[in-house]
Amino acid sequence: MPVVIYKPERRVIVDGVERVISKHDQWYVGNTSRDFHCGGIVIKKELLKPGKIKIGNHELIIIEASFLDEYKGIRRDAQIITRKDLGFIIGFCGLTKDSIILESGAGSGAATIMFAKLCKKVYSYELEQKNIDVVKENLTKLKIKNAVVEHKDMYDIKSVKVKNTDLVLLDLPEPWRALESARKAVKVGGYIVAYTPSITQAAKLVNMLPEYALHERTMELIDRDWRIKGEAVRPVTADIGHTAFLTILRRIL
Amino acid sequence: MPVVIYKPERRVIVDGVERVISKHDQWYVGNTSRDFHCGGIVIKKELLKPGKIKIGNHELIIIEASFLDEYKGIRRDAQIITRKDLGFIIGFCGLTKDSIILESGAGSGAATIMFAKLCKKVYSYELEQKNIDVVKENLTKLKIKNAVVEHKDMYDIKSVKVKNTDLVLLDLPEPWRALESARKAVKVGGYIVAYTPSITQAAKLVNMLPEYALHERTMELIDRDWRIKGEAVRPVTADIGHTAFLTILRRIL
Amino acid sequence: MPVVIYKPERRVIVDGVERVISKHDQWYVGNTSRDFHCGGIVIKKELLKPGKIKIGNHELIIIEASFLDEYKGIRRDAQIITRKDLGFIIGFCGLTKDSIILESGAGSGAATIMFAKLCKKVYSYELEQKNIDVVKENLTKLKIKNAVVEHKDMYDIKSVKVKNTDLVLLDLPEPWRALESARKAVKVGGYIVAYTPSITQAAKLVNMLPEYALHERTMELIDRDWRIKGEAVRPVTADIGHTAFLTILRRIL
Amino acid sequence: MPVVIYKPERRVIVDGVERVISKHDQWYVGNTSRDFHCGGIVIKKELLKPGKIKIGNHELIIIEASFLDEYKGIRRDAQIITRKDLGFIIGFCGLTKDSIILESGAGSGAATIMFAKLCKKVYSYELEQKNIDVVKENLTKLKIKNAVVEHKDMYDIKSVKVKNTDLVLLDLPEPWRALESARKAVKVGGYIVAYTPSITQAAKLVNMLPEYALHERTMELIDRDWRIKGEAVRPVTADIGHTAFLTILRRIL
């Protein structure tokens, strides 16, 4: 049983001033059948189970790993779509347990996995064989059965076999080249979402929009962290993550 | 069968200048067994089915309503958590089809419904009877079977009966008063998310955190719309929606 | 002597609930030699001087108008550059009382006036005669002597006569067409700032940059208001003003 | 004569791929009467004058330093108010060449210097002797004559001698304790601006506001950089600088 180990921060008061002597840390342990080394500590395998333990000066808290912890530990060779953006797409497009999704490209499969854990079926198209291998490895590791990754070119309408999906996610450099493929794959009333790092890509897509697609929005989701410590309450300096622009289209014809 | 009617924008060129003579519009039609009146047009009931129709000068496109269209049309007596924030919670906390959720208060049931459509089971606690009635009406209308709304006070640990949930969502004015109830309801490794309009509420919560809860983040999700029309590509003026601060805790003890 | 009249908000407690019965308001009065009508109140001219007065139920506070109050009241036929962006340019480019500035186009003269009140000399180029008339009217009204507005085309290098300025501000639709004119007008070490509503304009400019100009930054300044009332402390919903993108170049050759 | 040396980026095409072999860099040289060492290059003192030079493979561009370059090089023992925020204050409060300013605390004098270069007179109060020494050193280095730094406690109204200023800037941990001092120092119609890292400080100030002060705004100025390279146009990831909250009050009584 995989676990997560938390090492809480340790502070001492020296001459009236509070000092951090050991920072908060955490580790995912996929294999608990051998001892685990972390931050200069060795944890014997028989201790690698949920609960509170003490090793030397360090109090550690161990919990059973959840799907999320395993998900965070997947192999990531390509850049992945963040959970913030995936969550937004799921919420905004009204996906449900009955939804069927086509995404392209698969990258490392981060979107594939999250969709598969919440929806009915995921088809994932990808051109690069090495990405396909990574996705397959990740799907196996997380025991996902309702997703398939296929070696296909989304820009080529003939390669698209799936139909009537609820969402087509385009994580491609030139999403405008996939508009006819997307139409073939998505049902009327379903969504097409393009995920593009540059605003110029989003602009080009929107300016080339065919009549069948209603442009609902082009937006970015900015994620702003706050630091709270007693009376000190402020945004974290230099830490707003721009990830990408999302262009959301609905097939209406 | 409920439908959505789209009326695309109409433009004409007058003296070389393009002018909008009729704006884009859309309507949800829940009951298609009678004629529908919208924007000065009457659509006969026999025309209320998917396809393209022409009434006078207006070309209309009609599509079958999806879950999302019905969801947008639910009764909203209390302010609701937006789909953006719900999606983020689902993605960030790694919810799956197997997840069990407790949320309080239920409000109008917007979160209840979205969680129910993606996860296994939702328990919704609410103090106000009139809100409970609205939630029940909405659950019935959307045919949700895996969610229950109960008349309970989340600040009172004795009223909490559900255990071992994956997520406890606190949409309450004083979430710090629900920390012990939340611990009782959520499993070790599960998440507690507080949704608070004011940063002062988030700060108070974080400053009162018990040892069992690891503070992962306090953040806000800013949603920024872009307008794209040919070469004109700019953020929409005055349109960033702050909705609330999200404080994300994980039970580790 | 021009004055500003403030009418503070009035609140009453009705059945234990605080209600606003008259909102905060304010008026600039340029001409105090006649009675002033505002919000259903008449203020006799002999009362239009600094101090606190009471008219009916309304307590009013009157102060002498400052430069800023008169500035806010200038004629604005064209869209103006906001004080936020002007202030940023002044601060970022290190302008001083000794600075000489060229700006084009003049618009309604808002930038002209602010630069003139802080710096030594402002040259303002403008193509539209009706804008020139508005700028002249505004300069006269605010008694600005160290700014001149001239009927010139900034895209035409031959029309540029001024040299050795500290800043050239380009508030023009195609700033890349003014790069050679700007070089002629700005001294080595001086700044060229382009103010463009669209990111596509900024991108085009940056992608066409000549060797003489160092690209320091392209940025936008987002201005976010907070509402504070007791424990309620939150960003104002839907109120971030995007105004424009600023591209900041330094002449180094 | 102080100079600034620019070393432009150098790129080469290797196997069809563009690679940066030497990054853009720059150095301020305050003393040009001796050779200067930078980035592994030695520049002989006789070359330290405006123009383009070549040393080995490196083309360098040298320009005369401006006030801004010297300003950027001042001693900064305390954290300083950024130029963005100072520029905003100057623009928003409508300061002019005739304005008189009181600021407290002086910190390293960054605000003192910028105000002095644009306005008539600056008074700077500071409690820490070591900060006073730094401010004096910086004022001397930049040859500022119209600013004085004084050893005074802004929380103590008796220590405030200056009157009738146009702006009082409070860069203090507890600005609410300086409200009576500020009123004494600022003229009716003048501005009081509090610069506070935490929103809790701004909230406390606004919630304690006396009747004489009109609360115009509490806001933050977010500064967002964009990266532009050909078709790649996107916000810089993780680089929005929150600096502080600005609370802007106007004395009306």
Range of A107-116, A224-233, B77-86, C237-246 with top mean pLDDT: A107-116
The pLDDT score that the predictor gives to residue C240 is: 54
Average pLDDT over residues B19-34: 85
Q: Please tell me which residue, D158 or D222, carries the higher pLDDT value.
A: D158
Which positions 186-225 of D are in contact with B (Cβ < 8 Å)?
A: 199-200, 203
**% pLDDT > 90, chain C:** 76
Prior bond to C16 cis, omega within 30? no
Q: What residue has token string 């990111």?
A: C199
* Res. B241: pLDDT tops 70: no
Q: Are D219 and C223 in contact (CB under 8 A)?
A: yes
Contact yes or no for A90 and B221 at CB 8 A: no
> Per the confidence metrics, is the pTM higher than 0.90?
yes
**Strand residues in B115-231 grouped as ranges (E):** 121-126, 147-151, 165-170, 186-196, 213-229
The C-alpha atoms of residue A35 and residue A45 are separated, in whole angstroms, by: 4
Partners of C197 on chain B (C-beta within 8 Å) are: 232, 234
Question: Which tokens go with B250?
Answer: 């994980």
Those residues whose C-beta lies under 8 Å from the C-beta of residue D120, and which sit 6 or more positions away, are: D97, D98, D99, D100, D146
Chain C residues within 8 A of A200 when measuring between CB atoms: 200, 203
Instruction: Please report the pLDDT score of residue C138 as a whole number.
Output: 96
Say if residue D240's pLDDT is above 80: no
Q: Is the pLDDT of residue C10 over 80?
A: no
Cis peptide before C105 (omega within 30 of 0): yes
Which of A6, A7, A82, A88 has the highest number of chain B CBs within 10 A, making it the mutation to test binding with B? A88
Q: What are phi and psi of C251, to 5 degrees?
A: -75, 120
Contact C47, C91 (CB under 8 A): no
Which residues of chain A have a CB within 8 Å of the CB of D174?
none
- Reported as a pLDDT band with limits 50, 70 and 90, residue D78 is confident
Distance from CA of A232 to the nearest CA of D (A): 6
- Residue B242 DSSP code: -
DSSP string, chain C: --EEEEE--EEEEETTEEEEEE--EEEEES--SS-EEETTEEE-GGG-SSEEEEETTEEEEEEE--HHHHHHTS--SS----HHHHHHHHHHTT--TT-EEEEE--TTSHHHHHHHHHSSEEEEEES-HHHHHHHHHHHHHTT--SEEEEE--TT-GGG----SEEEEEE-SS-GGGGHHHHHHHEEEEEEEEEEESSHHHHHHHHHT--TTEEEEEEEEEEEEEEEEETTEEEEEEEEEE---EEEEEEE--
Arithmetic mean of pLDDT, D216-232: 90
β-strand pairing of A25-29 with A245-251: unpaired
Tell me the C-alpha distance between C108 and A67, whole Å. Answer: 60
Q: How many CB pairs under 8 A join C and D?
A: 156
| Chain B residues within an 8 Å CB radius of D201 | none
SS3 percent helix, strand, coil of chain D, rounded to 5, is 25, 40, 35
Question: C241: pLDDT confidence band, cut at 50, 70 and 90?
Answer: low
What is the amino acid identity at position B22? S
pLDDT in tens, C150-168: 999 999 999 999 999 999 9
Least confident of A223-237, B7-21, C67-81, C87-101: B7-21
Question: CB–CB of D240 and A243 under 8 A?
Answer: no
User: Six-digit token pair at C83?
Assistant: 């004080």
Beta strand spans in chain D (E): 3-7, 10-14, 17-22, 25-29, 36-38, 41-43, 51-55, 58-64, 100-104, 121-126, 147-151, 165-170, 186-196, 213-229, 232-240, 245-251
Residues of chain D contacting C230 with CB distance shorter than 8 Å: 207
| Chain C contact present for D86, CB below 8 A | yes
CB atoms within 10 A of CB B174: 14
Q: Do B237 and C237 touch (CB under 8 A)?
A: no
User: Residue D177: which residues within 8 A CB-CB, separation 6 or more?
Assistant: D155
Residue C27's pLDDT band (boundaries 50, 70, 90)?
very high
Confidence of residue C234 (pLDDT cuts 50, 70, 90): confident
Min Cα separation B249/chain D (Å) = 22
Residue A20 near residue A9, CB atoms below 8 Å: yes
Q: Which of A5, A64, A70, A72 is nearest to A35 (CA)?
A: A5
Q: What are phi and psi of D65, to 5 degrees?
A: -70, 145
Q: Higher model confidence: residue C131 or residue B10?
A: C131
Asked whether the predicted pLDDT for residue C239 surpasses 60, the reply is no
What residue ranges in B15-172 does DSSP mark as E strands?
Answer: 17-22, 25-29, 36-38, 41-43, 51-55, 58-64, 100-104, 121-126, 147-151, 165-170
What's phi and psi for A230, nearest 5 deg? 60, -125
Q: Provide the 3-class DSSP secondary structure of residue D178.
A: helix
Of the pLDDT bands very low, low, confident and very high (cuts 50, 70, 90), residue D238 is: low
Length of chain B (residues)? 253
Output the pLDDT for position D157. 97
Instruction: Name the H helices within D81-128.
Output: 83-92, 110-118
pLDDT at B85 over 70: yes
Q: Could you tell me if C77 and C108 are in contact, meaning their C-beta atoms sit under 8 angstroms apart?
A: yes
pLDDT for the residue numbered D88: 95
Per-residue pLDDT of chain A (253 residues; tens, 9 = 90+): 899 999 887 777 777 777 766 778 899 999 999 999 987 889 999 999 999 999 888 889 999 999 999 999 888 887 889 999 999 999 999 999 999 999 999 999 999 999 999 999 999 999 999 999 999 999 999 999 999 999 999 999 999 999 999 999 999 999 999 999 999 999 999 999 999 999 999 999 999 999 999 999 999 988 888 999 998 898 886 545 678 999 999 999 9
How deeply is C227 buried, as exposed, middle or buried, from its count of CB atoms within 10 A (0-12, 13-18, 19+)?
middle
Q: Give, in order, the Cα–Cα distances in Å from A167 to each of A163, A175, C42.
A: 10, 14, 62
The whole-number pLDDT of residue B11 equals 75
Cβ atoms of A148 and A162 closer than 8 Å: no
Q: Residue D153: phi, psi to the nearest 5?
A: -105, 110
Q: Which residues contact C133 (CB under 8 A, 6 or more apart)?
A: none
- With a CB cutoff of 8 Å and minimum separation 6, the contacts of A223 are A84, A240, A241, B219, B221, B222
Name the β-bridge partners of A219. A246, B225
Measured between CA atoms, how close is D69 to chain B, in angstroms?
32
pLDDT of A125: 98
pLDDT value, residue B41: 87
C-alpha distances out from residue A32 to A54, A69, A157, D107, Å = 18, 15, 47, 54
pLDDT tens string B159-185 = 999 999 999 999 999 999 999 999 999
